[in-house]
Chains A and B, each alone.
Chain A
Amino acid sequence: MDDGTRASHPQSASTFDVFLVGVGGQGVLTIGDILAEAALQQGMPVNFYPTKGMAQRGGFVKAQLRLGRDMVGPQIPEKGADLVIAMEQSEALRAVRYIKPDKDFFLYGHVWLPTAVLLGKAPYPKLESLAEQVQQAGAVFHYLDPEKRPLYEGALVPANVYVLGAVLGQTNLGRMLDTDAVANLVRDRWTRGVERNMRAFQAGIEAREDLPRLDKVVSS
């Protein structure tokens, strides 16, 4: 494909499409849910379409959040997402074809090995391959290192709230949705662990983008 003539659709300033992927149990769908509520509070049209296959931990999960269109179909077309939020390194690959050129591809680099990989019977993709694919798609790769997830009172803060903060801090989504309003939604969502969640959210916002450690080989 000739990069100079690559087909792309210019972004209309009032619309924003987010494609989320991860595995069951990470709270990916909760991120989408909170963002949808934030949009509603801002009076922005929204459609949120989560797909969780068979509901259980460790299965592929995806969700599509479409902001700003009065009449909108649930599906984001390939090369149509203004932002990808991926919470698992291998599942992130399934989102690459949805990212629009020049837009943000955000990875929280958690690794959740399927059994066959654990047993050495199947390969697991390296971070390098993902970065390469994202680059080929013409998107901007953002990486958040799961090992830097902070502790609160000795326990790791919830990954999804941490990621939510980081995405708002580092990508254009922060220009669409009001970060304080999202913070309030996070606070009100769980009656227990309010401080832990607020710590996670704030840490996410303040998180510096990590350089992907491309030499890091995660494979069987």
Chain B
Amino acid sequence: METKIISGNEALALGALVAGAKVLTGYPGTPSSGALGSLMVLGPDHPWRQKRWVEWSTNEKVAFEIAAGAAWAGHRALCTMKMSGLNVAYDSVISIAYSGCNGGLVIYVADDPGVSAGMAEQDSRGYALMSDMPMLEPSSVAETYDLTQVAFELSERIESPVFVRLVTAIANSYAPVRIEEPAAPPEREPILEKDIAKYTKAGSAICMAQHRALIARLEEAGRVIHEIGLNRLQLSSQAGGLGIVSSGVVSSYLEEGFEIATRYGFVREDVSVLRVTSSHPFPSQEVAALLNHCATILALEELEPHIERSIYVAAQRMGFQGQIMGKLDGLFSRIGEYSVRHVVQGLNAALDLSIPQDLFVGTGEAEQLAAQRPITVCAGCPHRGTYMAINRAIRKLKLKQDEVMVTGDIGCTILGMNPPFHTVWNEVSMGASISLAQGYVHGGVPTPVIATIGDSTFFHGGIPGLVNAVQHQVPLTLIIMDNGWTSMTGMQPNPGTAEAFQQLEGQRIDIARIVPALGVEHFYIIDPFDLDVATETVRKCLTLPGVKVVLSRQECTIPAMRRGLTAGRVRVEPDNCNLCQLCIMETGCPAIDIGEDTIVIDPALCYGCGLCAEACHRSAIEIEASTLIEIERS
């Protein structure tokens, strides 16, 4: 055993290793990426990875099905994803929940209350409810390590997949954890169980029997969870006081809140506390004990009032006469993260403590004075050239950007929505850009419709949309921005990543071979740093009938620079620069600054893509020693 500072994500991954998980899969997604990511950086030969299979899968549904297959074969398996990924995987999750599992099967889902990474502020606890699956919610990094192991035990005991849910504040927090060296997963003979009634959905009798079994498994989970005391109930010595129910990360703020409230007359010994770790199944015995003991209940949980609603039901059934405080009475909002402020606010409201309203209200005025810092693409990012080419092509057709729909997708490619490009209009879910664009076409938009998508997003969820567009011959231009990596989440490899960076004997799948195979007649490969050709190619596509696909291809600058690559070298011609700033206005490149008499390019940031030189009208920026990476053209 040693104590190390690790993240919540690492704690989860390590907990799974210690629990003997043999197959660990996932798809990158902030804030969950660090779990599998921490095992990836170890490399396949690391002792912790011996006799295990660890992979970034094509998408979350694929990842989960692989984990489930391994669990059906009798092994322990983990699958990791962000909340949006659970939306993708859920079709299989609910089906496999109905079938159950043999080996322990744990799904790690990370929610993002307070939205630090973008996407819907969804509460994935709703999914546990719908599929009658247990869900454990650690309240700290250290607890994440322990509870992941408990989740595997529970899963195997009740033969059902189990969720572990973290929120960003825990997944990305670092704290000391006592960890043990993970041993190799236990040797188990793979099970080949032929049981149509368990593993298929063939007919109503089978399906309804599975539903019955599912409910029984959840009830069993409730008994096991109660027996091992996962939900911690502390009753005050005097009945008739306040009972607090907190869940997940919110539990970690209780003691701090009590300490602060004590200064305003709060007496710790007078309140009862139930710290909920299993948000599903609902801890009915503990809640019943609390309702029997207390006059008032204060529910503290982030996002949706899941536990609070169940408390109301329990209260109704028990004839509880007291007050229940939380979100449903309007005390708290369903939006955003909780902190100690909410604990104190709740105690104040429930106990009438006269805690000053401004105790946790700092001046918001200062923040309004801060300069806006819209996120743009990195210096040397190939997407910059693609946005510039799209914008220029639109202008060449005598159209305005506001007249041409450019659907966007998930990942770095969405940054084209920001200044100075303003190219991309919308962002829905992985792969949605291609199908949304078809809807706009059918909606009768008179101008050309463009869809944009990144390489990993294309593999993840974009291919069905393109298949549909080809089948129905929908006139649109799809631009696949292929930088060879899943970049937004930290440069994970994907099916299109160069062979040299594929794990073990992995084979690269070339998008340039997929698209023609789907029957796309107009298919072009462009180099986004070769702006004239790129612009002309996009322009031509906007005038052609049918489905056009442009594959805009240059490697993501970050991994390329880490390997010492550059696209070329750029030099400012001081005599020609009149500081018109056109280069900054069109590229928004963070490597360009304004000097005394000329623009200045930071050599440490510059990748030598040369796009600023293409934006300049006065030959004030020269591309020297251009060593542009050769693009294979079809």
Contact = CB atoms under 8 A, between A and B. Distances in A.
Interface in A112-138: 113-119, 122-125, 129-130, 133, 136-137
A49 B173 contact: yes
Interface string B1-27: 001010000000000000000000000
B428 interface: no
B601 to A, nearest CB: 13
Contacts of A96: 362-363, 366-367
Interface stretch (A40-48, A160-168, A205-213): A40-48
A97 B362 contact: yes
A93 B366 contact: yes
Contact of A77 (B169, B341, B588, B605): B341
Main secondary structure on chain A at its contact with chain B? Answer: loop
A51 B371 contact: no
Interface in A122-162: 122-125, 129-130, 133, 136-137
Interface in B553-607: 581, 584-585, 588, 590, 593-594, 605
B419 A69 contact: no
Interface string A43-77: 00111111101111111100000000111111111
Contacts of B365: 133, 136
B175 interface: yes
A101 B358 CA distance: 12
Given A54-B488, A73-B253, A47 B175 contact: yes
Given A9-B260, A47-B173, A96-B362, A57 B337 contact: no
Nearest to B116: A51
Interface in B248-289: 249-250, 252-256, 259-260, 263
Given A40-B5, A56-B375, A119 B585 contact: yes
Given A71-B252, A115-B376, A47 B362 contact: no
B590 A40 contact: no
Given A71-B252, A80-B340, A125 B362 contact: no
B366 A133 contact: yes
B373 interface: yes
B156 to A, nearest CB: 30
Nearest to A59: B375
Given A57-B590, A78-B360, A93-B366, A46 B175 contact: yes
B341 A78 contact: yes
Contacts of B584: 115, 118-119
A141 B129 CA distance: 50
A72 B252 contact: yes
Contact of B419 (A50, A57, A73, A116): A116
Interface in B599-628: 605
Contacts of A56: 375, 378
Contacts of A82: none
28 contacts: A7-B355, A10-B263, A33-B174, A40-B3, A45-B176, A49-B173, A54-B375, A58-B373, A58-B376, A72-B256, A73-B340, A77-B360, A78-B341, A93-B367, A93-B370, A96-B362, A97-B361, A97-B362, A113-B371, A114-B371, A115-B376, A115-B420, A115-B584, A116-B374, A118-B593, A122-B371, A136-B363, A137-B363
Given A53-B116, A71-B252, A73-B339, 11 more contacts: A7-B355, A40-B176, A46-B176, A57-B590, A60-B373, A73-B340, A78-B361, A91-B370, A93-B370, A94-B366, A133-B363
